[in-house]
Every structure is written in C-alpha cells, then in structure tokens.
C-alpha cells in the first residue's frame, strides 16, 4: 500500500464506480470463500502472507502474479507504539491484509475481464472497508498510513 493523498484524481462518478466495485468484490469474495475472516480468506485463496520490515514508505504490498501479500513490520510496531484500541496490532494487520487482498482480487478480476483497474487504491480501500465493516472514514485510515494518526 503506497502513501497517497486522501483525495484521488478521479471524478465523482469514477469514485462511485470504484467504491461500488470494491464493495461488490468484497461480497463476491465472502460468498466464494464462505467467510468474512480476512486471514482465513487469504489461507483459502492460497495467498502467501509475508511479514517483513522495510522503511515506512509503504505499509503493505501486493504481488498478484506471485499470490503474495507483504506486510511491513514497521507499521505493526507503530501500531503497538500508538497504543490505540481501534488501531491495535491485530486491527492494523487486518486492515493492511484486507487492503492488499483488495488489490489482489481486483487484479484477478481485471485479468479475467481483460480490463485495467479504474483506481486500484480506491477499489482496495472500498474492499477493505466493506469486508471489515470499518467505522472510520477513508481519510482517517489514510492518515494512519501517513503516520499522522
């Protein structure tokens, strides 16, 4: 997951389409894998989740061709230091994993459809928010990624 400004360079209509795609993708994944548990989804989808440490430029990365999601240990350590109940290490791990799986599943769907993603970040945010039933706004989660929360 790369650091992005809270405002995408998309039109309102494109944002609505990306949000709807992410939400629909989450519902599809829940139906396909029979669970809302993000860790179980990764397991059932044969996604290898790797925990590594790198400079806190990104908090997670997705490699769809390799079926790999990488989670930055530095981001999890930051969650530990923040000592915020809503952003516990487990919750931050879940958010990162869900976001990166949003990229992975969107890439799979786009490959099947022969299309390019409209806004991969926006779709991944909507996927994670829908799957995890996140209570905070997208901007607040992006502030977390930018180390401002």
pLDDT tens digits, one per residue of 92-138? 899 999 999 999 999 988 888 888 766 688 899 999 999 999 876 65
Are the beta carbons of 136 and 86 closer than 8 angstroms?
yes
Q: Which of 44, 147, 40 is nearest to 94 (CA)?
A: 40
When the candidates are 3.40.50, 3.40.720, 3.30.2010, 3.30.420, the CATH number that belongs to 33-145 is 3.30.2010
pTM for the full model?
A: 0.85
What is the pLDDT at residue 139?
54
22: pLDDT strictly greater than 90: yes
Distance CA 15, CA 52 (A): 32
> Domain ranges in the chain?
33-145
Classify strands 68-72 and 60-63 as parallel, antiparallel or unpaired.
Answer: antiparallel
Distance CA 21, CA 118 (A): 10
Q: Which of 119, 105, 136 is nearest to 26 (CA)?
A: 105
pLDDT tens digits, one per residue of 50-77? 999 999 888 999 999 999 999 999 989 9
């Amino acid at each position: 997951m790369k650091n992005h400004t809270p405002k995408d360079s998309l039109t309102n209509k494109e944002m609505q389409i990306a949000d709807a795609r992410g939400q629909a993708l989450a519902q599809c994944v829940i139906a396909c894998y029979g669970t809302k548990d993000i860790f179980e989804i990764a397991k059932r989808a044969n996604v290898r989740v790797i925990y590594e440490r790198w400079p806190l430029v990104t908090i997670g990365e997705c490699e769809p061709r390799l079926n790999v999601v990488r989670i930055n240990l530095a981001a999890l350590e930051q969650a530990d230091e923040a000592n915020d109940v809503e952003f516990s290490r487990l919750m931050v791990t879940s958010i990162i994993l869900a976001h990166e799986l949003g990229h992975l599943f969107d890439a799979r769907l786009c490959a099947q459809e022969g299309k390019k993603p409209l806004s991969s970040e926006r779709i991944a945010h909507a996927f994670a928010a829908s799957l995890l039933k996140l209570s905070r706004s997208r901007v607040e989660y992006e502030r977390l990624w930018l180390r401002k929360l």
